[in-house]
Amino acid sequence: MEKMSAKLLIVDDDQDVLLAARLFLRQHVDIVHTERNPENIPDLLRNETYDLILLDMNFSRNATSGQEGFHWMNKILEIDPAAAVILITGYGDIELAVQGIKEGATNFLLKPWENKKLLATISATLEVRKSKVELEGLKGRQKVLIADQDQAYSHIIGKSAAMMKVLATVEKVARTDANILILGENGTGKEVIARAAHRASRRAGEVFISVDLGAITESLFESELFGYKKGAFTDAKEDRAGRFEAAHKGTIFLDEIGNLSHSLQSKLLSVLQNRKVVRLGSNKEIPIDVRLVCATNMPLYQMVNEGKFRQDLLYRINTVEIKLPPLRERTEDIEALAEHFIDQYCHKYKLPKKRLNASTLKRLQIHHWPGNIRELQHSVERAVIMSEGNVLEPHDFFLSDNEDSRPAEVLPNNMNLEETEKMLIRKVVDKYGGNISRAANELGLTRASLYRRMEKYGI
């Protein structure tokens, strides 16, 4: 038998038992320490980490109650909650040993033992400890990953009236378990708001599972969301939990819910109504306890009228509705958002701190931003990388006038002179990224005259 890579501690007041165990186990285990006096256990555990501790249940002369063993087992678990303890007991103390298992021992061993039985018990207990340590490690890494991911979404930047209204709604609804529907254009930060609601809820310590329904094909919908049993289909080589099971006790975020076909809407509705999932290839219903947050950029109410989205599903998912404003409707937040992204990418690419100048900020504020915050983020990242100096100029953002997605402006039907002048000034100022000198020069005006006209028209 291959030697087990482990460190053992045996605590027993019988010197003969310790000697026999040490001589035998040294052939099969890397390190074996023995101790007669249980009073030394705390010092031993503070100086060493043991994979396994074999602990006698009685130390005093004529003691048979096992209370000493329980006392020292509790001390061990107090110092090292992950410790694996095997209680050593006589044949008449099996009930005590079972009680010990209930109170935290991993296993028990009857003495006098057979060496084969001793090895088998130690081997099995080490496997249990290994699984326990791995599980705790996975839980710890999961918590770190969740914390890191939430940190990336922790900055809700914006002091505009539109965003203050959104945040006030989030604060109210987060404390409940009400279903939330977030509506907004692409790139407006729907997942950021979903995570904010999760962090402010009573489920904040549990998992947040994000599902992009737009990226899941119809054939994979059930297996991805509800899970499957081994053999349910060709590639199902093991049992697997779906996203709803994974989100149990936490929050599940269903993004792009407007993309679901009618048949998939029906399957989702059934799960939301019954709060149970059935894995593919199984008939067993699995209860789920999740907070539901959905999002879409599609006009769900119009889709209901057109028969493209189930009205009963819409009622189920939108107990509270949050509408996110597009970036063009919260231009006062652009400066703070841009500065946040500048800091983020200067740090990421190890570049000196960069900043916006006034004309660049003006250019960013008059751009239409069809891609909203996501487009601004990508534009800032590119500008940070490509700019030569530490001051970001309008041309660093590659916001071509021809590519600006602002709806085309046409001459008013009544050819009103003031409206025409207002339109022309806006287009020229936009063309030069807010550079007043260049705009005034093209318009044949002085800077002062242009400023007066801009003030008059609220440009």
Q: What is the mean pLDDT of the chain?
A: 86
Determine the Cα–Cα distance for residues 37 and 104; give it in Å rounded to an integer: 21
State yes or no: pLDDT of 138 exceeds 70.
no
Domain formed by 4-133, architecture: 3-Layer(aba) Sandwich (3.40)
Nearest by Cα to 297 from 374, 380, 242:
374
Written as six digits, the tokens of 175 are 């404390």
- Note whether 345 and 416 are within 8 A (CB): no
90 or 136: whose pLDDT is higher? Answer: 90
CATH of domain 328-397: 1.10.8.60
Number of H helices, E strands in the chain: 18, 16
Superfamily for domain range 153-324: P-loop containing nucleotide triphosphate hydrolases (3.40.50.300)
As annotated, the residues of the chain forming the CATH 1.10.8.60 domain(s) are 328-397
For residue range 182-197, what is the model confidence (pLDDT) as tens digits? 999 999 999 999 999 9
Residues 6 or more apart whose Cβ sits within 8 Å of residue 458 = none
Q: Which residues pair with 292 in a beta bridge?
A: 252
> What count of other Cβ atoms lies within 10 Å of the Cβ of residue 132?
14
Written as six digits, the tokens of 234 are 């060709």
For residue range 295-339, what is the model confidence (pLDDT) as tens digits? 999 999 999 999 999 999 999 999 999 999 999 999 999 999 999
As annotated, the residues of the chain forming the CATH 3.40.50.2300 domain(s) are 4-133
For residue range 69-82, what is the model confidence (pLDDT) as tens digits? 889 999 998 888 87
417-457 belongs to CATH 1.10.10: yes
User: Helix (H, G, I), strand (E, B), or coil: what is residue 419?
Assistant: helix
As annotated, the residues of the chain forming the CATH 1.10.10 domain(s) are 417-457
315 phi and psi angles, rounded to 5 deg: -65, -35
As annotated, the residues of the chain forming the CATH 3.40.50.300 domain(s) are 153-324
Q: How are beta strands 285-287 and 276-278 bridged, if at all?
A: antiparallel
pTM, entire model: 0.60
Residues 6 or more apart whose Cβ sits within 8 Å of residue 354 = 342, 346, 384, 387, 390, 391, 392
Determine the Cα–Cα distance for residues 246 and 244; give it in Å rounded to an integer: 5
